[in-house]
Amino acid sequence: MTASSPAPVVRIAGVDKTFGRGDRVVTKALEAIDLDIARGEFVSLIGPSGCGKSTLLRIVGDLTSPSTGTVQVNGKSAEQARRDRDYGMVFQAPVLFDWRTVEDNVKLPLEILGYDAARRTARAREMLELVELGDFLKHHPFQLSGGMQQRVAIARALAFEPAILLMDEPFGALDEMTRERMNGEVLRIWEQTGTTILFVTHSIPEAVFLSTRVVVMSARPGRITKIVNVDLPRPRTDDTREERRYFELVTEVREALRAGGGDLDDSGTIDGMDAASMERTIAEGAVG
């Protein structure tokens, strides 16, 4: 962590995103998004289903491009940043490969990046120790629980030391207990590695517990309605969830969401999958 660097890791300026066909706008997903993320920050994007928060994360990660506006990562374009392997991605599903052991799953990006064998092994084991799966190197993903699988996915994302970790509702499919435990895990990992995290979530408590800042977005078209600075002390523990300040912040985020309209309780995962699948659908000409 270089505290003296004034330039943000991520600079999002004037980003709009419309899904359309030709000149026809089918959906306006994002409108006038400006956001800077400093090195070592933990920023959560929260908003109702369909507010485009996953789309925004995908734009930052160069999995899709903005209709207007720019994204810069460490002063480079998002595309260049992707080519430089600046992104670690964690999705809602762990997306592990059954034919590879846990260790080999973590090694996958390292193989692609051309690390030599010794370094791959050392790095994969180090990362799996970090997520406390050092005893499961030779297991196959299907032998692990959902929470463990997601930890493997996190280890894999961190393995090549990306500049920023992009997490798209990584714990959305887990039960509440596992989710809280994973929240603690991810905070510990974040503190140990000093990495910058952009985190998409549906859960207000999760966003408040984890973040340095919570970015509240409104329903379609997605706009940033409020940015809540989370001034809870660190380290945050289970006791943090019982502090008065925590509840105040949860309330503040909830009210900001309400002011932005839309229904947060709208079940599940529409955003994450939809942004991706909508693009595919449109690309294949099934819409419009």
The residues of the shown chain that bind other proteins, judged by CB under 8 A, are: 61-63, 82-85, 87-89, 91, 93-100, 108-109, 111-113, 140-146, 149, 166, 276, 280
Measure Cα distances from 281 to 55, 204, 284, 287, 288 in Å.
15, 31, 5, 7, 10
Q: Cβ atoms within 10 A of the Cβ of 179, count?
A: 19
Between 93 and 128, CB nearer to other proteins = 93
Between 31 and 62, CB nearer to other proteins = 62
Between 36 and 104, CB nearer to other proteins = 104
Min dist. Cβ of residue 89 to other proteins (A): 5
Rounded distance, CA 193 to CA 144, Å?
A: 25
Between 97 and 247, CB nearer to other proteins = 97
Min dist. Cβ of residue 262 to other proteins (A): 25
Which residues lie closer than 8 Å to 150 by C-beta, 6 or more apart?
Answer: 90, 94, 170, 171, 174, 182
Min dist. Cβ of residue 264 to other proteins (A): 24
Between 72 and 150, CB nearer to other proteins = 150
Between 89 and 210, CB nearer to other proteins = 89
Give the DSSP letter string of 126-185.
HHHHHTT-GGGTTS-GGGS-HHHHHHHHHHHHHTT--SEEEEESTTTTS-HHHHHHHHHH
Between 140 and 181, CB nearer to other proteins = 140
Give the 3-state secondary structure of residue 122: helix
Between 146 and 268, CB nearer to other proteins = 146
Rounded distance, CA 252 to CA 262, Å?
A: 16
Q: Are 91 and 153 in contact (CB under 8 A)?
A: yes
Min dist. Cβ of residue 211 to other proteins (A): 22
Give the pairing of strands 213-217 and 87-90: unpaired
Min dist. Cβ of residue 170 to other proteins (A): 12
Min dist. Cβ of residue 203 to other proteins (A): 21
Min dist. Cβ of residue 184 to other proteins (A): 21
Q: Are 7 and 75 in contact (CB under 8 A)?
A: yes
Q: Is the peptide bond before 235 cis (omega within 30 degrees of 0)?
A: yes
One-letter amino acid of 14: G
Min dist. Cβ of residue 83 to other proteins (A): 5
